[in-house]
Amino acid sequence: MKEQSNLSRLMEYAGKHKILTYLSWVLSVTSALLALVPFWYIWRIIHDILEVSPEFSQAGNVTRYGWSAVLFAVISVVVYIVALMCSHISAFRVAANIRKELMRHITTLPLGVTEKYGSGKLRRIVNSSSAATETYLAHRLPDKAGAIATPIGLLFLLLAFDWRLGLLSLVPVALGFLIMMKMTGKDMAQRMEQYQNSLSDMSNEAVEYVRGIPVVKTFGQTIFSFKRFKDSIDNYEKWVITYTKALRLPMMFYTTAINGVFAFLIAGGILFTRGGVTNELLLNLIFYIVITPVIGTTLTKIMFMSEDAMIVSDAINRIDEVLNEKPLSESPVNNIPSDYSIALEHVTYSYKVNGSEGDREGALGHDGEKTRSMMYLCGSSRDRQSH
């Protein structure tokens, strides 16, 4: 339900290009199913070779099956490219409209909102958050559609030829899926949010530090200004290490599970050949060894799609946070002043003098030069002329 909400939120920015997003899903599913057809031709090639063994020259259909496999592979790639073209056109439109909407809204906000976020964090929301939606729409959603279709086709192929080997091939798939759910669960989503927050803070502090270097040098505050930047780097390092360590063991077990399908097939082959090796069993065993790597590739795609779903969910939340800021109220009456001069009146200031607070007049008697400097910074031309 959360993902549908995020998708519908993004589709609001797609306009008439929305249809291209859905078309990319259909084409991606078609490409995924076409990509499985060459494996059936591979099975036919192995079957014909084993049937005429050792008189391999009598296998007359091998060439035809081989070219048919190549043809379907090429068609699958072409259809997938068209799917990505459709998804990219729509995704670029969504990202562009999000940036335009954000910039239009930011120009109506009070300056205090900009100070609250910081220029670096706002820049990251406008650029990086919108870019995250582009990656999600252009790549992950079409890949997800294809990744859903691929297991369905694979399930048919795995159970059609030898259901015993097919079930053995599904055991590591189930283990990998359970481990993947652990890696992409609610706890990991919270860690991802903390990681993104620390990254935003570091980006913001870096921009503010670089922009403030002239002021820092003028007042000799290098150490103090760098401390905030250094703290943000340390905080980012903390969450990166935490996030990486949390994924270390699950990722190791996941990789072992999806790549351990050969161990299950070999064990099953040894068990099933106790009564003797038949051409049919040897054919199916070879075929399953060839096709099972597709399972690992599909599961890895699903895992990355789950991670990107968490990233785009966080990006949408950050975008909405800025868009929900109330704009600066405007007067319904357009009062155009006749005099554009600026005067500074009834303004006082104070600062510590020998550990105590002194007002403006007291400061004049103590340090007239410092007072003139402060008045000059305040911008009162009349006061500057009086001195």
Task: Tell me the domain boundaries of the chain.
Answer: 2-323, 351-386
Q: Which residues contact 355 (CB under 8 A, 6 or more apart)?
A: none
Contact in structure between 104 and 191 (CB atoms under 8 Å): no
Average pLDDT on 89-113 reads 87
Q: Choose between 28 and 284: higher pLDDT.
A: 28
What CA–CA distance (Å, rounded) separates 313 from 2? 8
Look at the chain and count its residues.
387
Beta bridge partners of 357: 352
Contact in structure between 84 and 24 (CB atoms under 8 Å): yes
Q: Which amino acid is at 12?
A: E
Q: Choose between 189 and 206: higher pLDDT.
A: 206
Q: Which amino acid is at 156?
A: F
- For the cut 50, the answer to whether the pLDDT of residue 3 exceeds it is no
Q: How many Cβ atoms are within 10 Å of 311's Cβ, its own excluded? A: 21
Q: How many Cβ atoms are within 10 Å of 258's Cβ, its own excluded? A: 24
pTM here is 0.64
Average pLDDT on 322-326 reads 85
Q: Choose between 243 and 382: higher pLDDT.
A: 243
Per cent of the chain over pLDDT 70 is 80
In angstroms, how far is CA 200 from the centroid of its own chain?
14
pLDDT at residue 352, rounded to an integer: 64
- Specify the range with the lowest mean pLDDT, choosing from 69-73, 168-172, 185-189: 185-189
Q: Which residues contact 97 (CB under 8 A, 6 or more apart)?
A: 13, 14, 15
**Coil, helix or strand at residue 185:** coil
Q: Which two tokens stand for residue 76?
A: 């699958």
pLDDT at residue 184, rounded to an integer: 66
> What CATH superfamily classification does 2-323 receive?
ABC transporter type 1, transmembrane domain (1.20.1560.10)
- For the cut 50, the answer to whether the pLDDT of residue 377 exceeds it is no
Which of 2-11, 176-185, 250-259, 273-282 ranks highest by mean pLDDT? 250-259
